[in-house]
Amino acid sequence: MVVYVEGVGMTKIDRHYDYSLKDLAANAAFAAIEQAGGVDGIDYLVFSSSLSSLQDNQLDTASYLATSLGLRGIKALNVEAGEASGLAAISVAKSLLESHQADKVLVIGAEKLNEFVSSKVYKQLQMLYDGDTKSFYNIGFAGDAAILMRLYMDTYNVDRELMSYWPALMHSNAKENPYAMLNFAIKPDKVAKSQILADPITLLDSYPLGDGAAAIVLSNKDMSSSPLAKISAIESSTGYGSIELSEDPLLFDSLSEAFRRISNIADTSNLDFIEIHDSFTITAMIILETLGLANRGKAAELVSTGYFSPGGKGPLANPSGGLKARGHPLGATGVYQIAESSLQVANKFPGVKANNAKKGLVVSLNGLGSSSYVALVEGV
Amino acid sequence: MDLSISRFWRKKEIIYKLNGAKCKSCGKVHYPPKNACPYCGSRELELVELPRRGKLISYTTIYAIPEGARHQSPIYYGLIDLGVTKITAELTDIVNANSLKKDMEVEATLRKTQEDRDAGLIYYVLKFRPVLVQK
């Protein structure tokens, strides 16, 4: 079944020291509600956040948030799936609409990665990876991705400089996006020279620690008035999420399965744009190859030729600037991706536009693919 | 995840003896042991002690260090092929980052990972160090 996006709201991703999680959530939610024509009919809040319960020492946040937003009485629940939380929340909202448990759902994703010093946040972000092994070590958030990046470059004989075109493309796109945290251009050669987080991953291969919130109002067909877009399908799958367990870590098994599932129920060809989960340069390369948008070991080269750039032959990749440059406030990211994609197909995105865009694919995942979510957003 | 005595006690066979699980159905070995085989779903698993020596498949030098370990900076971390299975572990006794090489031989050794200053506890885990070449 198809669900409709009635309204979207986003805050600029930034270091929002002056605003709490609820302030940011309210900012995004009120904008989405206004675009959707008011609060009438909204009967469910699905709230997505990864670290906020831990950071704020708060449980049942969705219910407290509902009352805080003046929506006391509606139904509410939290959804948490690590970095994939936002798209998981939208997937749950879609199911609620399809099963007629809800008529109109407000989905809010909010996260603050600047509440504490970075070393504390690195420790919190380590929670994205399998605690069975990782919790006994002090590897932070980039260790596993770094091992994977070196494995990729060794296996396919790809050099560091070729990997740097992706961050440069993301910055170039983000420059036009008023909601992006890093809205400035960089040259590819700057990537390798930036601060090393976990060799070979540098600061510019990684996402900035940002605070942000995004919200969307979703409805089923009966309630829909003048929607921006429709979400034709969402699928997901669990996977190894671990380089040591996976027999082929250079593909994400969960994404491969989720994409196979969505391709069975919807037409995923002729994509005008994609919004993918480029938490690191390496994650972007593996996603492009898992989706079959690039041959194995060739994604970096294809990116460098301009194939995914505005005006390129392929689908436009991350017109928002991606996690890399728009930013990645964990639990909010999937909601940003859907909000941006809805604006793209409505020809209202205030940044790099995919020409005459009718269809886009959104990819969100946690860690190295413990779960993957894919959604197809289309014009109405 | 915060470390605690009960967590270490419960996992002592796994983290100190390096016990993995072998699936009686498909024969594959994984580490650390799960409640069912991650490859075929069988619940028929037996604990097997893994080799304490292996080869480095990939590695990294980490400078973005989490709280509580900044004095250990940089942290070396690797993907290790133990033959029967692969594991990831911190690497130790590394002279400098440039000495890390693919296919380098490494072996398990007991090392400190974190301290709980309030309780006065020191937690140990197995890390892997380069195998010294015999002359």
Task: Kindly state whether residues B32 and B11 are assigned to the same domain.
Answer: yes
Helix axes A21-35, A61-68, angle to 10 degrees: 60
Task: Kindly state whether residues B81 and B32 are assigned to the same domain.
Answer: no
Report the residue of A244, A253, A282 to disrupt the B interface, i.e. the one with the largest count of B CBs within 10 Å. Answer: A244
Q: Confirm or reject contact between A199 and chain B (CB < 8 A).
A: yes
Task: Kindly state whether residues B72 and B132 are assigned to the same domain.
Answer: yes
SS3 of A135-164: the string is: CCCCCCCCHHHHHHHHHHHHHHCCCHHHHC
* Nearest Cβ partner for B70 among A119, A150, A151: A119
Task: Kindly state whether residues B37 and B100 are assigned to the same domain.
Answer: no
A262-290 mean pLDDT: 98
Which residues on B lie below 8 Å from A142 (Cβ)?
A: 60, 62, 64
Q: Confirm or reject contact between A197 and chain B (CB < 8 A).
A: yes
Contact between chains at B66 and A140 (C-beta distance less than 8 A)? yes
A334-340 mean pLDDT: 98
Rounded to whole angstroms, the Cα distance separating A282 from A287 reads 9
Rounded to whole angstroms, the Cα distance separating A195 from A237 reads 35
Residue A37 belongs to what domain range?
Answer: 3-116+209-223
Per cent of chain A over pLDDT 70 is 100
| Tens-binned pLDDT, residue by residue, of chain B (135 aa) | 567 788 888 888 888 999 999 999 999 999 999 999 999 999 999 999 999 999 999 999 999 999 988 889 999 999 999 999 999 999 999 999 999 999 999 999 999 988 877 777 888 899 999 998 765
Task: Kindly state whether residues B14 and B27 are assigned to the same domain.
Answer: yes
Residue B13 belongs to what domain range?
Answer: 1-50
**Separation in Å, CA A22 to CA A90, B9, B21:** 19, 40, 45
A315-342 mean pLDDT: 98
Task: Kindly state whether residues B23 and B78 are assigned to the same domain.
Answer: no
Helix axes A281-290, A143-156, angle to 10 degrees: 60
* Nearest Cβ partner for A240 among B15, B38, B78: B38
Mean pLDDT of chain A: 97
A335-359 mean pLDDT: 97
* Nearest Cβ partner for B60 among A120, A143, A244: A143
Rounded to whole angstroms, the Cα distance separating A179 from A370 reads 28
The vertex-B93 CA angle with B90 and B98, nearest 5°, equals 85
Whether the upstream peptide bond of residue B32 has omega within 30° of 0, thus cis, is: yes
Q: What does the DSSP 8-state code read for residue B64?
A: S
Amino acid, single-letter form, for residue B78: G
SS3 of A240-263: the string is: CCCCCCCCCCCCCHHHHHHHHHHH
Q: What is the DSSP string of A158-215?
A: --HHHHTHHHHHHHHHHTT-TT-S--S---THHHHHSPEEETTEEGGGB----EEEEE
Query: pTM higher than 0.90, yes or no?
Result: yes
Rounded to whole angstroms, the Cα distance separating A163 from A95 reads 38
Rounded to whole angstroms, the Cα distance separating B98 from A112 reads 36
How many structural domains compose chain B? Answer: 2
Task: Kindly state whether residues B63 and B122 are assigned to the same domain.
Answer: yes
A63 domain-assigned = yes
Task: Kindly state whether residues B46 and B101 are assigned to the same domain.
Answer: no
Helix axes A330-345, A85-98, angle to 10 degrees: 60
Task: Kindly state whether residues B128 and B64 are assigned to the same domain.
Answer: yes
Q: Confirm or reject contact between A157 and chain B (CB < 8 A).
A: no
Note every long-range contact of B110-116, with CB atoms under 8 Å and residues 24 or more positions apart, other chains counting: B110/B16, B113/A136, B113/A137, B113/A138, B113/B3, B113/B69, B114/A138, B114/B3, B114/B68, B114/B69, B115/B68, B116/B3
- Which residue, A163, A145, A134, is CA-closest to A367? A145
For residue B87, give the chain A residue with the closest CA.
Answer: A244
Which residues on A lie below 8 Å from B59 (Cβ)?
A: 147, 150
Q: Tell me: the pLDDT tens digits for A124-170?
A: 999 999 988 888 899 999 999 999 999 999 999 999 999 999 999 99
Which residues on A lie below 8 Å from B84 (Cβ)?
A: none
**Separation in Å, CA A14 to CA A18, A173, A179, A181, B25:** 11, 17, 9, 5, 51
For residue B4, give the chain A residue with the closest CA.
Answer: A136
What confidence score (pLDDT) does residue A244 get? 96
Q: Tell me: the pLDDT tens digits for A25-81?
A: 999 999 999 999 999 999 999 999 999 999 999 999 999 999 999 999 999 999 999
Task: Kindly state whether residues B46 and B60 are assigned to the same domain.
Answer: no
Rounded to whole angstroms, the Cα distance separating A302 from A158 reads 12
**How are beta strands A229-238 and A196-198 bridged, if at all?**
unpaired
Structure tokens at B17: 């003896």
Q: What is the DSSP string of A55-70?
A: HHT-SSHHHHHHHHTT
A194 domain-assigned = no
How many structural domains compose chain A? Answer: 1
Q: Tell me: the pLDDT tens digits for A112-133?
A: 999 999 999 999 999 999 988 8
Task: Kindly state whether residues B87 and B114 are assigned to the same domain.
Answer: yes
Task: Kindly state whether residues B39 and B73 are assigned to the same domain.
Answer: no
For residue B97, give the chain A residue with the closest CA.
Answer: A199
Which residues on B lie below 8 Å from A139 (Cβ)?
A: 62, 66, 75, 77, 90
Rounded to whole angstroms, the Cα distance separating A316 from A274 reads 6
Rounded to whole angstroms, the Cα distance separating A193 from A204 reads 9
What confidence score (pLDDT) does residue A222 get? 73
| Cα distance between the two ends of chain A | 14
Q: Where are the beta strands (DSSP E) in A1-148?
A: 3-10, 44-48, 75-79, 104-112
Report the residue of B1, B7, B67, B102 to disrupt the A interface, i.e. the one with the largest count of A CBs within 10 Å. Answer: B67
Contact between chains at B32 and A148 (C-beta distance less than 8 A)? no
The domain that contains A45 carries what CATH number? 3.40.47.10
For residue B45, the cross-strand partners are B23
3-state helix, strand, coil in chain A (%, to 5): 40, 20, 40
| Run of H or E residues at A317 | strand A316-317
Which residues on B lie below 8 Å from A148 (Cβ)?
A: 58
Contact between chains at B30 and A245 (C-beta distance less than 8 A)? yes
**How are beta strands B121-130 and B105-116 bridged, if at all?**
antiparallel
Cβ proximity of A28 and A110 under 8 Å: yes
Greatest alpha-carbon span in chain A: 58
Q: Confirm or reject contact between A244 and chain B (CB < 8 A).
A: yes
A268 domain-assigned = no
Residue A178 has pLDDT above 80, yes or no: yes
Q: Confirm or reject contact between B84 and chain A (CB < 8 A).
A: no
What confidence score (pLDDT) does residue A32 get? 98
